[in-house]
Structure 1
């Protein structure tokens, strides 16, 4: 994979995103570990009450990415099974011995800054497949141990995330195994759309809760690395939420690739030093995520390293344990508190995207 400061634009149809979020929700509702993640009301700046969607315990993996790669693994195998046998698999059928025997012939390869790799490893194990995860030297050893505990092969490669991405791509080309990335680039867009389709479950859980309460958020803060979560959430909010909030995308200053792409009008690198918001430290945007965000009327906020850490510390002080990455949306809210005209009530929503481990 070759990338320059400005990435080549593909044909527009490859950037479309029309998720079957009902299928994703139905899939997870058959999974033993699935429960709706909680939403808390927590203290915010200037006395605000903040809605906080808590992904820190999601399906035993401790991050929202438990909804992405495991779903994509299941969809890839289901499509392969359909091509082989003509049978459309139901979620219940996926546990049968013949389907698991088929899955055992598949290996999924990816690069990860931590949580995506966990999702790939967990999804592969659940289906009876194998996983090989490439990690840069900057990824903490604890993540490597957690991946190996899920049965994945871990390969250390390169100094930064982009190096490990290049190695994962080369591996898949060399071995014929399935590349399961959460980012998209020219020539590789369709599999990550299934990852994003899984993330749509979070927006649907929230929509149901807000429909029931009648108290919709006025502002939604969405942290972004390559942009998959932010784009999936933004798409769903614009699609079917009864009351439309402002959408603010939070990125590290050191890796603000989506803001840079917005300003340039095309997918563009967000170059910078290594960030302590490690799971958001992605210098190249997902071109599909960028395209989705461009049509969803979003604004951007960037955080310094100190602001990201301060947000995590502030959440810890009120009993919410997370990382600077998990706290980035809250950090953007604290950096630039919102003002609602005419004295209307302000109700911000943030996503606590991962636990502290």
Structure 2
């Protein structure tokens, strides 16, 4: 199990892959007004590669790695541009569950490569997300009332059909492919590191929203690995879905209980076991948001010029509830990830 939980990403390979991608450009680092007179650095992922969320870096990269590995295993060749390779790719179907953005990443990655995608959505996911998936060529299947039901349905689908399960969460017996998804997310931390190395304006606190924990863990790993100035790391969850905080307190991966959250992309009751293990070694603290606090944060960030959702603004929401002395300190330089657009 120890090896399965290990996360040592080849972030240079991920960065090289995206630098060669025609749709890639680093996302902007903005400055927005925070409470108590502080300035908040905001990594704006709301137009990442035209998909509107940071997850454009995860699943499409994993799709490319999976297809490359499978074609090499079958043919012994590395060129994916031959007619034979293209026919092989066209025969491949990726299956996943999604609360929205991961499915869009899988659908987009599959479409761009020439493969197919089938996405399982819980009944709680808005139809607008389903329409976006269909527009990317994916087949949409409604599976169960909540996200965990759609995960179970996607897993069973892949087992029955023989198609490729591409989840962004990890569990016992399924860890390697989601690590490639997380490897793609490491690009965000590398973009930020390069910018801070140039400016010297390193943040003192980084707020990382978490559902199953993939983004938070990838960012935490990279920050602890190679940032020259080390910030405090704060992982932010909805009060309705504190699976990572609960796991931290229990000392083992633990399912959270709670009602449905309006922070839909963070409303995950089962932690990624790999993400949990990474966060346990990265010296993080936890913050939780109520439903109203998440909604307030989204309204404020949107009013400041970055249209986003309660999920996207969760880090900013945590800043709103920091203590006054910290907020008013000249030494306080917080960073948040605005992880998705509201449009």
Bin for the TM-score computed over the shorter chain: over 0.9
Report 1:112-131 matches (<5 A): 112-131=98-117
Superposition map of 1:115-264 within 5 A: 115-264=101-250
Structure 2 residue corresponding to 1:41, chosen from 20, 31, 35? 31
The alignment partner of 2:46 has SS state of coil
Do structure 1's residue 354 and structure 2's residue 340 form an aligned pair?
A: yes
Partners of 1:213 and 1:137 in 2: CA distance: 45
Other-structure match for 2:61: 71
Q: 1:343 to 1:38 in 2, by over 3 A?
A: closer
Given that 1:45 and 1:337 are in contact with CA atoms closer than 8 Å, whether structure 2 keeps it comes out as: no
d(CA) in 2 for partners of 1:339, 1:238: 26
Give 1:328's aligned residue: 314
Q: What is the CA distance between 1:283 and its match in structure 2?
A: 0.2
1:232-258 deviations in Å (ceiling 9; x for gaps):
000000000000000000000000100
In structure 2, C-alpha distance between the alignment counterparts of 1:56 and 1:85, rounded to whole Å: 39
- Alpha-carbon distance between aligned partners in 2 of 1:257 and 1:318, rounded to the nearest angstrom: 30
CA contact (8 A) 2:36 2:324 kept: no
Structure 2: 5+ residue runs without aligned partners? Answer: none
Q: Retained in 2: the 8 A contact 1:19–1:193?
A: yes
Given the alignment, which residue of 42, 51, 54 partners 2:41?
Answer: 51
> Partners of 1:141 and 1:293 in 2: how far apart?
33
**For the aligned residues, what is the CA RMSD?**
1.4
SS of equivalent residue, structure 2 residue 69:
helix
Partner in structure 2 of residue 314 of structure 1: 300
Structure 1 pair 97–29 and aligned structure 2 pair: CA distance change class (3 A): farther
* Aligned with residue 52 of structure 2, among 62, 69, 74: 62
4+ residue stretches of structure 1 with deviation over 6 A?
Answer: none
Does the CA contact (< 8 Å) of 1:94 and 1:127 recur in 2? no
Give the unaligned 5+ runs of structure 1.
1-10
Counterpart in the other structure of 2:85: 99
Q: For 2:327 and 2:63, how far apart are their aligned partners in 1?
A: 46
User: 1:105 deviation in Å?
Assistant: 1.2
Following superposition, the deviation at residue 339 of structure 1 comes to 4.6
Equivalent residue for 2:11? 21
Mapped to 2, the partners of 1:166 and 1:296 lie a distance apart of 30
Matched residue, 2:272? 286
SS of equivalent residue, structure 2 residue 240: helix
Whether the 8 Å contact between 1:339 and 1:346 is mirrored in structure 2 is: no
Classify the secondary structure of the residue corresponding to 1:255. Answer: coil
Normalised by the size of structure 2, how large is the TM-score? 0.98
Q: Distance in 2 between matches of 1:258 and 1:94?
A: 39
Q: What's the CA shift for 1:157?
A: 1.0
Matched position secondary structure for 2:207: strand
Q: How far did residue 305 of structure 1 move?
A: 0.1
